[in-house]
Amino acid sequence: MNIEFMILLRTIILLFVTLILTRILGRGSMSNATPFNFISYVVIAIIVSLMSLNIITNFFLGMIILLTWSLFSIALDYACMKSKWVHDMVNGKERILIKDGKVMEESLSEVRFTGEELLKELRNKGVFNLADVEFAIMETTGDINVGLKSDKVHITPHDLGIKIPKKAQTQTVILDGNVLDRGLTNMGLNQGWLKTKLEGMGVTLENVFIGQIDSSGDLYLDLFDDSLESPKSNTKELLYADLEKAEADFMSFALETEDKEAKAMYIKNAEKLKQIIERLKLYLLR
């Protein structure tokens, strides 16, 4: 059996072995890997390469080395899950770089960070003013999480005591000009609804690269022809405008009529409709 065939056979076997090991060892992107996990990936890659090129001539010995290293990495991961001490020993501890708005110079020295590098990381997080930061923590992966001071945090509807409806998962219903029935079914819709919607927007199915339906039922389209502006579904805006027009009509009728009972009825309905509009405003105009 010639050497070229042996290398090809080894490569095919190692390809499947590596695929299985990466699925077992892999837990997220490489950017979130700890230093030890990164080293494990590199060592496994080197072992596979040496075996594939027949530099490690004993194939079974190479497999034992590969599996031993992989099993040791898995066992160490489980030990980290069970013991905080083992976790800190293997992965290290997070470091507080900014506390109560003050930079911890000792922590910066421990992670070998300069002031300029700290400011750069803050800018990467969208923070350009050090005075806005309440705390900053360097995780064991090297990533830095930043917490802003309470008066610098964006106000949310929860802070204002406003309840907004939950969002459902956005469904892709068109991809490369083809209809995806599963996305339509998940939204309780069908191809007839989609066809009517496309006709109303003046678009043919063949011209659509991607089509998605959000939680409120609005259809977003991205067209193959980038020179054309993607049509937008304005169902919610039209509904809001119709409600406001109905409220205005009630008030107009109240001003025009001389009948006191009718006037009171129109004003009462206008007030009810106004309350409904206020409740739906965030939902319809967001």
pLDDT of 177 over the 70 cut:
yes
Within this chain, do residues 226 and 249 fall inside the same structural domain, yes or no?
no
Rounded to whole angstroms, the Cα distance separating 235 from 219 reads 9
Within this chain, do residues 110 and 64 fall inside the same structural domain, yes or no?
no
Within this chain, do residues 214 and 246 fall inside the same structural domain, yes or no?
no
Count up the domains in the chain and report the number: 4
In a domain, 163, yes or no: no
Q: Which of 103, 123, 152 is the last residue of a domain?
A: 152
| DSSP SS3 for 198 | helix
Average pLDDT taken over every residue of the chain: 81
In a domain, 219, yes or no: yes
Rounded to whole angstroms, the Cα distance separating 281 from 140 reads 44
Within this chain, do residues 225 and 258 fall inside the same structural domain, yes or no?
no
In a domain, 166, yes or no: no
Within this chain, do residues 84 and 8 fall inside the same structural domain, yes or no?
yes
Q: Which of 66, 89, 112 is the last residue of a domain?
A: 89
Rounded to whole angstroms, the Cα distance separating 23 from 14 reads 14
At 108, phi and psi to the nearest 5? Answer: -60, -40
pLDDT tens profile 154-168? 777 677 676 666 667
Q: What is the 3-state secondary structure (H, E, C) of 159-184?
A: CCCCCCCCCCCCEEEEECCEECHHHH
Within this chain, do residues 178 and 221 fall inside the same structural domain, yes or no?
yes
Residues in Cβ contact with 234 at an 8 Å cutoff, skipping those fewer than 6 apart? none
The pLDDT value given to residue 235: 66
Within this chain, do residues 99 and 131 fall inside the same structural domain, yes or no?
yes
Within this chain, do residues 240 and 272 fall inside the same structural domain, yes or no?
yes
Within this chain, do residues 240 and 228 fall inside the same structural domain, yes or no?
no
Greater pLDDT, 146 or 217: 146
pLDDT of 279 over the 80 cut:
no
In a domain, 140, yes or no: yes
Greater pLDDT, 23 or 16: 16
- Which range has the worst mean pLDDT, 124-133, 149-158, 211-220? 149-158
Q: What is the 3-state secondary structure (H, E, C) of 30-88?
A: HHHCCHHHHHHHHHHHHHHHHHHCCCCCCHHHHHHHHHHHHHHHHHHHHHHHHCHHHHH
Q: What is the span of the domain harbouring residue 182? A: 171-232
In a domain, 158, yes or no: no
Q: Which of 191, 211, 232 is the last residue of a domain?
A: 232
* CATH number, domain with residue 117: 3.30.240.20
- Which range has the worst mean pLDDT, 32-36, 40-44, 240-244, 251-255? 32-36
The CA R_g of the chain, rounded to the nearest whole Å, is 31
Within this chain, do residues 191 and 128 fall inside the same structural domain, yes or no?
no
Is residue 175 left, alpha or beta, with left meaning phi > 0 and alpha meaning psi from -120 to 50? beta
pTM to 2 decimals? 0.53
Instruction: Give the pLDDT band of residue 192 (cuts 50, 70, 90).
Output: confident
Within this chain, do residues 225 and 248 fall inside the same structural domain, yes or no?
no
pLDDT tens profile 97-113? 998 888 888 888 888 88
Within this chain, do residues 268 and 192 fall inside the same structural domain, yes or no?
no
